[in-house]
Amino acid sequence: MSQPITAADKTFIALRDDIVEGRIEAGSKLSETELSTKFAVSRAVIREAINRLESCHIVERKANVGARVVALSPQGLIELYQVRESLEGMAARLAATNMTDEEIADLSALLQSHFDEVKGGESYYQEAGDVDFHYRIILGSKNKHLISMLFDGIYHLVRMYRVQLGMAEPRVTTAYDEHKHIVQAILNRDAELAEMLMRRHILYSKNSIEHKLL
C-alpha cells in the first residue's frame, strides 16, 4: 500500500499518526462510534483501521470489549529493540550480498552528505537522516518479510516511543562512525561483519536509551 486508496486506507494512516504522535494518548480506549464521527466515516471503516492497527501491535483488542492503544513501558521498549537488533542485523547481512553496486554508491553518497552536515556543525542525527540510512539497508536486504515487518510494524512503534517519551536520539557523533563502518562492510561484501556491526549499533542505541530511562 504505497498510496492510500480507499477510505479505510486513509483512516488507518490518519489514526495511526494520531496515536504515534501522541494526539491520542497511549493506553486510552478507542471507541468505534466516537472515531466514526471524528473521521466522518462509517463504523465498518473504523473497524478495518483498528484491525490493521492491531496487526501492527499499536492497539490491543479484546473480543466484545474493545480496543485500547498499547501502553508504553521501559520493558516494552527493550523488547522492541531486541527484535530490531535481530531483524536489522539480518537485513545488513543480506544487504551486503544483495544490494547492487549502484545502491551501495547511493548509500555512500547519503552518508557523505551526513558527514558534511556534521562538519558544518549541525548535530548529526536529527531523526530523518538516521531513519533514511536504516531504510536503505533494510530495503537492500531484498527480503519481503523483513521489509514489511520493520516498516509496517516496528518502526512506527519505535517512533511512538521516541515521540512520547520525548527523546531525540542523543548519540550525536558516535553514531556517524558506526554508520560509516557498516557501509564499509557492505562495500566489502562482508555479510558477517555487516550484521555484527549493525547489531552492535542498535545495541548501543538501546543501552543509551535504557540508561536515560531507568
Partner DNA sequence: ACTTGCTATATTGTCGACAACTTGGTGTTA
Partner DNA sequence: TAACACCAAGTTGTCGACAATATAGCAAGT
Q: Between 24 and 87, name the residue whose CB sits nearer to a copy of itself.
A: 87
* Cα(56)–Cα(66) distance, integer angstroms: 16
Region binding a copy of itself by CB under 8 A among candidate stretches 21-29, 48-56, 118-126, 162-170? 48-56
Among 23, 33, 40, 63, binds a copy of itself (CB under 8 A): 63
3-class DSSP state of 68: strand
Q: Which of 15, 20, 24, 48 binds DNA (CB under 7 A)?
A: 48
42 lines the binding site for DNA (CB under 7 A): yes
C-alpha span between 181 and 193 (Å, rounded): 9
CB 81 within 8 A of CB 206: yes
Of 125 and 161, the one with the shorter C-beta distance to a copy of itself is 161
Phi and psi, residue 66, nearest 5°: 135, -175
Name the pairing type of β-strands 66-69 and 59-62. Answer: antiparallel
How big, in percent rounded to 5, are the helix, strand and coil portions of the chain? 70, 5, 25
* Phi–psi pair at 193, nearest 5 degrees: -65, -40
| Residue 80 in the binding site for a copy of itself (CB under 8 A) | yes
- 3-state DSSP call for residue 150? helix
Segment lying near DNA (by CB under 7 A), choices 18-26, 27-35, 76-84, 98-106: 27-35
Using CB under 7 A as the binding rule, whether residue 61 contacts DNA is answered as yes
Residues that bind a copy of itself (CB under 8 A): 1, 5-6, 9, 44, 47-48, 51-52, 55, 57, 63-64, 76, 79-80, 82-83, 85-87, 89-90, 94, 143-146, 148-149, 154
Contacts to DNA by CB under 7 A? 6-8, 29-33, 41-45, 47-48, 61, 63-67
